[in-house]
Amino acid sequence: MKIEIDQSEVVHILNAHNQDNPLLKLILSKLEKVMATQAELAAALKTANDALTAIATEVDKVGTEVDTLNAAINNLTAIISAGGATTPEVDAALAALQTSVNSITAKVKAVDDKVPDAPVTP
């Protein structure tokens, strides 16, 4: 047979039977501390999850911006290629732009790899 009671019921029972019994007082104080610790832990976990959700939103935004930038570079590359020969300055500027995009993409991936893809559920 299994009897289930919640923590508030235990506190109520202990308070009701606490007739200056030192053992019951000790149990009650320890139980209240555990309950407070659990509430603090739940609040800290929620705060951490909220922070991760906010970070994930920002990473998604950066990813979208990098995708937009890559599309613009591809478009510029196609326009330049269609126009024929370009000057060394244009070639160098395009190469520098592509290097910057590759660097940003690698940094975004490194940050993304540090954060789990889905929230951990208990």
pLDDT digits (tens, 9 = 90+) for 78-101: 888 888 788 888 889 888 988 988
Residue 25 has pLDDT above 80, yes or no: no
Residue 61 structure tokens: 């935004």
| pLDDT at residue 121, rounded to an integer | 65
CA distance 71 to 74: 5
CA distance 74 to 70: 6
CA distance 38 to 49: 16
Query: Could you tell me the pLDDT band of residue 113, with boundaries at 50, 70 and 90?
Result: confident
- Asked which of 38-42, 55-59, 64-68, 118-122 is least confident by mean pLDDT, the reply is 118-122
CA distance 119 to 7: 28
Query: Could you tell me the pLDDT band of residue 32, with boundaries at 50, 70 and 90?
Result: confident
- What is the pTM (predicted TM-score) of this model? 0.47
CA distance 32 to 26: 10
